[in-house]
């Protein structure tokens, strides 16, 4: 998100400014469409030396719907006990149920959810601040909340002041300060005391003002924020909320389908990239390959050495779900199975192909990938793939035990239809079984390169350093297309060709070099990788380069 914004534009909902509204009179007519206003406050805005026993008073321009006002009031720092609310006509009285803290600046906000008795909401949120000390705290933290869908207006922003080794958990701990993102996804926390803060943001799907794990998207910051005398305003990197799975996966069943294969069934999809699997019976049984079939992401298939009838114990390590939660402990019987005496006589099948059959707009550098139903032999003949009776120039590469990749020597031709035949008898499985079908046919249509556009801009990576690995991501607003590009390290970027349309563009710093955007962990705290997004959507047109899409961390 562009960080060089005037403060007056950064938060038009005025969460931090004293909104000195004047009372207005609705025009005549049968229907009242005039939004209510706040016309008076006590203590007055920017008051100092306020009593620790002070009662807060807010005067409105007309009678209000009291329930809506109750849900729209925020006091920061958050009080330990909800205050007592009472009304007298158009005046609201807020009585704290404990004394205010000494030398503390408080901010009272009435959000736009507050409505008059005709259902008209406040035109904009109203905030006022006062201090129980001799001066106002003036620390500020600003930033933006974005996602793959673009800016996230209405996102709730929580700030915790870190004291004495505190490790806040937004699922359990109330924040000290609360704000909300405006229509452009920008937020500003103001009147903060100096100190170190940790800022989270979440999408309050159920509207209860609380973060609900595994249901609501939460953003973890890329680092903590220190407010000091010399740096009382800090602009954070963007916050990127995602729904987080916090439940550990469990192993449900272990089954030997034949004497060479083992199937592990979990209660959710798992990641086996770091898995270590040991099978122990009378002797240790080696695992020759492990893989997951498309559409069966909660099942792990193992190719083993020849099993013997009898009992085996399975020892698993390094398996996690797709959110990184490690495997949960399970009853010992779930880790025990009996070896199968049945030989593998089942023929392999093609279960997936990329590009899909009759796919359109296939990029000219896209390889062909064929995925089979089981572990295959590691040899492959150049005669296995045929194009119009010829063998296309290129090379084959096994991308794992079940996926064969073909890389053409030259890019595909633009705007052309390709039809291939895959000669299956040349592709036996590990046990030597050939597919039952002799020929697998598929076609695809390549993109017309003249319809592609490009996106270019500068990457301000001053805070990251010249060696930082940065990825550019583009997602079309209809969610039909997404692209990833690795940026160069010279401060500029130019994407490859993309289909025309409106895109949201963002970049992330791949701190750990794993080629993925990592979203961090709230508790125990693990910083997210820094992310920054474009201001609004970016229009990509055929044959054009959309320039000056600059991204600043």
**Which residue do the tokens 């922003």 mark?**
157
Q: How far apart are CA 544 and CA 55, in angstroms?
A: 61
Q: What are phi and psi of 221, to 5 degrees?
A: -75, 160
Higher pLDDT, 274 or 388: 274
Residues 151 and 119 in one domain: no
pLDDT, tens digit, for every residue of 281-296?
888 899 999 999 999 9
β-strand partners of 130: 47, 106
Q: What is the mean pLDDT of residues 314-339?
A: 82
Q: Which of 419, 449, 479 is the last residue of a domain?
A: 449
What confidence tier does 26 reach under pLDDT thresholds 50, 70, 90?
Answer: very low
pLDDT, tens digit, for every residue of 90-121?
999 999 999 999 999 999 988 878 999 999 99
Top-confidence range, 21-25, 31-35, 381-385, 451-455? 451-455
Residues 170 and 282 in one domain: no
Q: What is the mean pLDDT of residues 471-491?
A: 91
**Which residue do the tokens 């940026």 mark?**
487
Domain count, the chain: 5
- Residue 58 domain-assigned (yes or no): yes
Residues 419 and 397 in one domain: yes
pLDDT value for 2:
37
Domain range enclosing 509: 452-552
Q: What are phi and psi of 461, to 5 degrees?
A: -110, 25
Give 115: exposed, middle or buried? Use CB within 10 Å, 0-12, 13-18, 19+: buried
Q: Which two tokens stand for residue 347?
A: 């023929």
Given a cut of 50, whether residue 4 has pLDDT beyond it is no
pLDDT value for 62:
95
Given a cut of 50, whether residue 22 has pLDDT beyond it is no
Q: What is the mean pLDDT of residues 407-433?
A: 95
Instruction: Name the residue among 58, 64, 71, 57 with its Cα closest to residue 21.
Output: 58
- Residue 208 domain-assigned (yes or no): yes
| Average pLDDT value for the chain | 89
CATH at residue 280: 2.60.40.1220
Q: What is the mean pLDDT of residues 202-225?
A: 94
pLDDT value for 6:
29
Given a cut of 80, whether residue 15 has pLDDT beyond it is no
pLDDT value for 72:
86
**Angstrom distances, CA of residue 159 to CA of 76, 331, 503:** 10, 41, 31
Number of continuous H segments (helices) and E segments (strands) in the chain? 2, 45
pLDDT value for 12:
34
DSSP assignment string, 135-203:
S---EEEEEEBEETTEE-TT-EEEEEE--TT----TTTS--SEEEE--TTSEEEEEEEPSEEEEEEEE-
- Residue 344 domain-assigned (yes or no): no
- The answer to whether the beta carbons of residues 368 and 380 sit under 8 Å apart is no
Q: Which of 68, 99, 131 is the last residue of a domain?
A: 131
What pTM does this model have? 0.79
Q: Which of 243, 263, 288 is the last residue of a domain?
A: 243
Instruction: Name the residue among 270, 252, 281 with its Cα closest to residue 318.
Output: 270
HEC sequence for 362-423: ECCCCCEEEEECCCECCCCCHHHEEECCECCCEEEEECCCCEEEEEECCCCCCCCEEEEEEE
CATH at residue 504: 2.60.40.1120
**In the chain, what percentage of residues exceed pLDDT 70?**
93
């Amino acid at each position: 998100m562009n960080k060089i914004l005037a403060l007056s534009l950064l938060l038009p909902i005025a969460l931090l400014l004293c909104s000195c509204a004047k009372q207005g009179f609705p025009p005549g007519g049968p229907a009242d469409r005039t939004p209510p206003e706040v016309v008076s406050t006590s203590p007055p805005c920017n008051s100092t030396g306020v009593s620790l026993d002070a009662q807060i008073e807010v005067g409105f321009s007309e009678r209000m719907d009291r329930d809506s006002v109750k849900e729209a009031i925020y006091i920061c720092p958050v009080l330990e006990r909800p205050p007592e609310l009472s009304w007298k006509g158009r005046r609201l009285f807020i009585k704290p149920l404990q004394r205010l803290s000494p030398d503390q600046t408080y901010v009272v906000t009435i959000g736009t959810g507050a409505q008059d008795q005709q259902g008209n909401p406040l035109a904009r949120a109203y905030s006022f601040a006062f201090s129980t000390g001799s001066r106002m705290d003036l620390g500020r933290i600003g930033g933006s909340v974005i996602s793959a869908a673009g800016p996230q207006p209405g996102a709730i922003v929580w700030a915790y002041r870190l004291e004495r080794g505190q490790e806040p958990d937004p699922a359990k701990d109330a924040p000290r300060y609360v704000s909300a993102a405006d229509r452009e996804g920008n937020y500003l926390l103001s009147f903060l005391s100096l100190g170190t803060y940790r800022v989270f943001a979440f999408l309050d799907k159920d509207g209860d003002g609380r973060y609900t794990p595994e249901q609501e998207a939460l953003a973890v910051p890329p680092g903590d924020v220190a407010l000091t005398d010399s740096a009382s305003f800090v602009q954070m990197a963007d916050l990127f909320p995602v729904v987080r799975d916090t439940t550990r996966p469990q192993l449900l069943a272990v089954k030997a389908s034949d004497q060479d294969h083992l199937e592990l069934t979990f209660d959710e999809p798992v990641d086996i990239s770091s898995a270590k699997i040991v099978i122990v019976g009378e002797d240790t049984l080696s695992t020759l390959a492990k893989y997951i079939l498309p559409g069966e992401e909660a099942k792990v298939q193992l190719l083993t050495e020849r099993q013997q009838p009898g009992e085996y114990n399975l020892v698993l390590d390094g398996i996690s779900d797709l959110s990184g939660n490690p495997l949960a402990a399970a009853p010992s019987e779930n880790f025990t199975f009996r070896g199968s005496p049945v030989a593998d006589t089942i023929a392999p099948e093609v279960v997936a192909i990329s590009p899909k059959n009759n796919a359109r707009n296939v990029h000219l550098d896209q390889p062909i990938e064929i995925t089979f139903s089981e572990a295959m032999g590691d040899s492959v003949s150049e005669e296995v793939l045929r194009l119009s009776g010829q063998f296309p120039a290129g090379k084959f590469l096994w991308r794992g035990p079940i996926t064969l990749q073909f890389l053409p020597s030259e890019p595909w031709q633009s705007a052309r239809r390709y039809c291939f035949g895959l000669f299956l008898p040349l592709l036996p499985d590990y046990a030597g079984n050939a597919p039952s079908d002799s020929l697998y046919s598929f076609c695809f249509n390549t993109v017309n390169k003249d319809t592609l556009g490009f996106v270019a801009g500068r990457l301000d990576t001053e805070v990251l350093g010249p060696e930082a690995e940065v990825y550019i991501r583009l997602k079309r607003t209809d969610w039909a297309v997404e692209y990833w590009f690795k940026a160069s390290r010279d401060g500029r970027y130019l994407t490859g060709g993309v289909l025309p349309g409106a895109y949201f563009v963002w970049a992330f710093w791949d701190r750990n070099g794993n080629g993925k955007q990592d979203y961090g962990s709230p508790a125990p705290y693990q910083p997210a990788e820094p992310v920054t997004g474009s201001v609004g959507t970016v229009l990509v047109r055929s044959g054009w380069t959309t320039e000056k899409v600059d991204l600043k961390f």
